[in-house]
Structure 1
Amino acid sequence: MNGVLPDSALRQLIENGAISAELPILPEQVQPASLDLRLGTTAWRLRASFLSGRGRKVSERLADFEMHRMDLTDGAVLEKGCVYLVPLMERLTLPKGLDAVANAKSSTGRLDLLTRLVTDEGTEFDRLPEGYDGPIYAEICPRSFSVLVRPGMRLNQLRLRQGQAVLSDNDLRALHALEPLVTGDALIDDGLGFSVDLRPTQGDLVGYRARPHSGVIDLDRIGAYRASDFWDELHTTDGQLILDPGAFYILVSREAVSIPPEYAAEMAPYLAMVGEFRVHYAGFFDPGFGHGQAGLGARGVLEVRCHEAPFALEHGQVVGRLVYERMAERPRQLYGTGIASNYQGQGLKLAKQFVAG
């Protein structure tokens, strides 16, 4: 059956060697519809981001871009504004009929830590063609904060797909009629649209802006950093927020969304030029996100960067869309059910490394 492969199928690919690794793949790496990828022991500081290009390997191109090599074994700092390439522990030998796509994990995106998958013979980031057989790499560019990383850290995730999995707008409307995917009216236009919430039901806190001169964040330290040391709170009472060029923001969607167990979804920009800003759209939504119990859904956290000119963002302005995909089978475990799901039932929430204060 066509669709995104669930956890059981991923485990089967690990068992038969289609997904292999230097060290044994850990059970907790397997998510309901994706596989977490682990950093290896080496990082190259690059003078520029690059793609290997058709017919060429990443290792062949490194001499053109490498500035110096770093050992991550005891931890190393990746500095804000710099570009790094890290070989991942995992290696892929994709069977016929399967391709793959990668996303930054939720916490990675909320730290403005640009992380993209790079492959041999690659002509685009985060995409692996059917039959890919080779190593995989993470390109990492910290944009707001310098970060301390170690081997084994999981910054991005990979999902494998067989055939056409994306739902058409008609399919989305039919699914929404059976099981509401969003609170309020559903804006369905090349995916399920969502808007920004700048009129919260309680208080006037609408988001956070990254502070430009902050300390280093050790990604392994959960709940260890005061939010006020790294973020400025944003308050508004008129439903408007003016975005500053070059600044990075954490906002939240007005709508609560639900991902039924037989589906997954990816956050994408609503329009290529929706204004002088872009939603970072690190987000991949696993089956079960915002689903179950009261069935009220969960908000989508928006990672927003403003470009070139100040931009007035208005409450209810459509800023992104969710592209839904069918699962090949229902996963055995769902997001938020028996696994460490940090953002189930979320509202406006910073990365897991921060606590209020």
Structure 2
Amino acid sequence: MSTKRTPKIEKPGILNTDQIRELIECKVIVGWDGPDDDIGKSSFDLHLNGYYWKLPAGIKCSRYSRVVDLIKRVGGKKKRIPKIGLRIFPDDEYVYLFELNERISLPKHFYGQGTGKSSIGRLDILTRLIVDYEEKYDCICPFRARNYRYKNLYVEVTPLSFPIKINNGDAIFQLRISKGDFQKLRIQSEIIHLFTNLMKHERGGSVAGADQTNLRLSLKPTKDGTIALKAKRRKEGFAPLKLSVKKPYYPPKNYWERIEKESEDILQIDGSLALKVEKNAFYILRSKERFILPDNIAVYGLAMTEEVGELRIHHAGFVHPGFGRLREDKKGTPLIFEVRGHDVNMLLKHGDLMAELKYYPMSSPAEKGDEYYEEQELKLSKIFKEFRNED
């Protein structure tokens, strides 16, 4: 293997497609062998290498330990993913930890931030990136330890609504790399307020000022009358969802139900619509605000808190530069919220505050090109076909 080289990336910001490829060529990232389209405008996919551990509980690393050392302490045994795939069920009492093919050694001033892929989060699958010598989940800092050149990467996978089937090589997690600390790179709100073309209201017109840093819930029906999508309760005969399918395959009516205005889950409160979120149920919802991002800004959506009362709210993945700009109707594209109820039922009202937005500059503008979810309203994971009118 050729020697690791320092990448010639000088300008601070989130790295684009070509800059990520430069990290791979410089051997900052090793083990990456995915297709070209697994490197996106501001992130790249990580791939399972075929091995996993079935653990009695989740683990958390420290700045002085490797993940494999922690696994040994809890008695985990390394296993190979079967050729026919590994089935995992929502009620499984074990935690599944998968080793990733990629390893990474970030130079000084380079940082990594991860999140589950959008198509995975929309399946109600919890994922966490665990990295050698990193105290925080989903984060990678420049290398500090002396004895190991590369950090090994692992992802913890927990399905909550549907049984799933995992195969060797699956890409279920993505990583964003920055030149400069993410906290220091973040574009401050007083500067964001100067922009007038980052997003639009669902009723039309540009969003301005402080509203550009928040996302609120939309319960406005789509063209086909859908307000929300709700995962069906698991039943006997539910076929495990294969995460590696490359195009829409599963009929949505077998796994999801559409909630419309006439549904008993929709209420009227003070003239506005409200959704009754049932305990232990999972929903796909969308934002009122609609993005039209330029090619030199990337966004990360952070739930106001991951746990809001009796709800868990999460935004589905990173928001890439240029998102919404190529949409045919020119109205911009809303973001998707993944919402799970906990121990009691709870109401969410139209316009409720759901997430905070963090804006970051790109180190170099991203290439132009559309995204799979560019035309989304209430969009399921890409493994599902579209709902038909009769569904």
| TM-score, structure 2 normalization | 0.83
Q: Give the Cα separation in 2 of the matches to 1:158 and 1:268.
A: 16
Q: Is the 8 A contact 1:208 1:251 kept in 2?
A: yes
Q: Give the Cα separation in 1 of the matches to 2:159 and 2:223.
A: 33
Q: Give the Cα separation in 2 of the matches to 1:344 and 1:66.
A: 45
Compare CA radii of gyration and give the structure with the larger one: 2
State the number of aligned residues: 349
Q: Specify the alignment match of 2:47 in structure 1.
A: 38
Deviation at 1:127, TM superposition (A): 0.5
Q: Is the 8 A contact 2:105 2:142 kept in 1?
A: no
State whether structure 2 residue 165 is matched by structure 1 residue 148: yes
Q: Give the Cα separation in 2 of the matches to 1:232 and 1:43.
A: 33
SS in 1 for 2:315: coil
Q: Specify the alignment match of 1:61 in structure 2.
A: 70
State whether structure 2 residue 241 is matched by structure 1 residue 217: yes
SS in 1 for 2:100: strand
Computed over aligned residues only, the root mean square deviation of the Cα atoms, in angstroms, reads 2.1
SS in 2 for 1:228: helix
Q: Deviations over 1:255-292 (max 9, x none)?
A: 21122110111111135664432312242011111113
SS in 2 for 1:286: coil
Aligned residue runs from structure 1 range 80-229, under 5 A: 80-82=90-92, 83-131=95-143, 133-163=150-180, 164-175=184-195, 177=196, 179-183=197-201, 184=205, 186=207, 189=210, 192-200=213-221, 202-213=223-234, 214-221=238-245, 222-229=247-254
Q: Give the Cα separation in 2 of the matches to 1:254 and 1:119.
A: 36
Q: Among 335, 341, 356, which residue is 1:321 paired with?
A: 356
Q: Among 335, 345, 352, which residue is 2:375 paired with?
A: 345
State whether structure 2 residue 297 is matched by structure 1 residue 263: yes
Q: Deviations over 1:306-335 (max 9, x none)?
A: 22321111112121122111101102x245
Q: Give the Cα separation in 1 of the matches to 2:109 and 2:27.
A: 16
Q: Give the Cα separation in 2 of the matches to 1:37 and 1:302.
A: 23
- Aligned letter for 2:54? R
- Aligned letter for 1:202? K
Q: Specify the alignment match of 2:6 in structure 1.
A: none
| TM-score, structure 1 normalization | 0.91
- Aligned letter for 2:350? H
- CA gap 1:189/1:62 in 2 versus in 1, 3 angstroms: farther
Q: Give the Cα separation in 1 of the matches to 2:321 and 2:308.
A: 28
- CA gap 1:64/1:143 in 2 versus in 1, 3 angstroms: farther
Q: Deviations over 1:17-39 (max 9, x none)?
A: 00110x63432221111111001
- Aligned letter for 1:276? E
Deviation at 1:223, TM superposition (A): 2.0
Q: Is the 8 A contact 1:197 1:251 kept in 2?
A: yes
Q: Which structure 1 segments of 5+ residues have no match?
A: none
Q: Deviations over 1:198-246 (max 9, x none)?
A: 1225353111111221331012333221112111221225411111122
Q: Give the Cα separation in 1 of the matches to 2:120 and 2:43.
A: 15
Q: Deviations over 1:178-217 (max 9, x none)?
A: x242325637559621211212253531111112213310
Q: Give the Cα separation in 2 of the matches to 1:44 and 1:101.
A: 24
User: Percent identity, aligned pairs only?
Assistant: 28
Deviation at 1:12, TM superposition (A): 0.7
- CA gap 1:345/1:66 in 2 versus in 1, 3 angstroms: farther
